Amino acid sequence: MKRKAFFFWLVLFSFFWLEAYTAHIFPEIFLKQHKKPEGFLQEICKEVREMGSYPNENFIKREFHINLDGREENKEEHVVVLIYRWEDGEKMTVQVTYYEPLPENRYIKIAKKIRSIFCWFSTEWLEIENSDYSPDEMKALLPNILKGIRSEKKWLKLKNESW
């Protein structure tokens, strides 16, 4: 009986350890499996708020060039996050601009399409007001945007510290 109980606890401990290890080493995989689009939007809002607003502005607007297609050498997507006060809460707009190269010169890119997500939020809740993306598209897109924002914040922090 003691041996069965030992193996039971060993398996249970191993399962929890593996889950915690996966969440620590591969957070974007863990997040993709466990969050809804609203959760990712709250994380994006938190990350952008930490960057703060520019002087003499009563809103927060940050722009990022993010790699959404898996090729690091060309960050083709431009993401703008705008946060501002509105009535009894706040509004956030996440706008993604997709570019494509000109046929005659692949180094010159023009905007192909612009898609947006509009949401209301306060400290306790977030509601998606309007979106050009389906829920499944948001589940695939928002973790990549969050990962790109975090990596760009890390890069900016390292750059500022090196001056």
Q: What is the pLDDT of residue 162?
A: 46
27-61 pLDDT tens trace: 555 555 457 888 899 999 999 988 888 888 889 99
Cα dihedral 96, 66, 69, 76 in deg (nearest 10): 70
115 has pLDDT over 60 = yes
Dump pLDDT digits (tens) for 55-106.
Answer: 888 899 999 888 766 665 566 789 999 999 887 788 999 999 988 888 888 7
pLDDT at residue 161 in the model: 55
- Map out the domains of the chain as residue ranges: 1-34, 35-162
How high is the mean pLDDT of the chain? 79
What pLDDT is stored for residue 92 in this prediction?
94
> Which has more confidence, 45 or 16?
45
Q: Which tops the pLDDT comparison, 133 or 74?
A: 133
pTM as predicted: 0.71
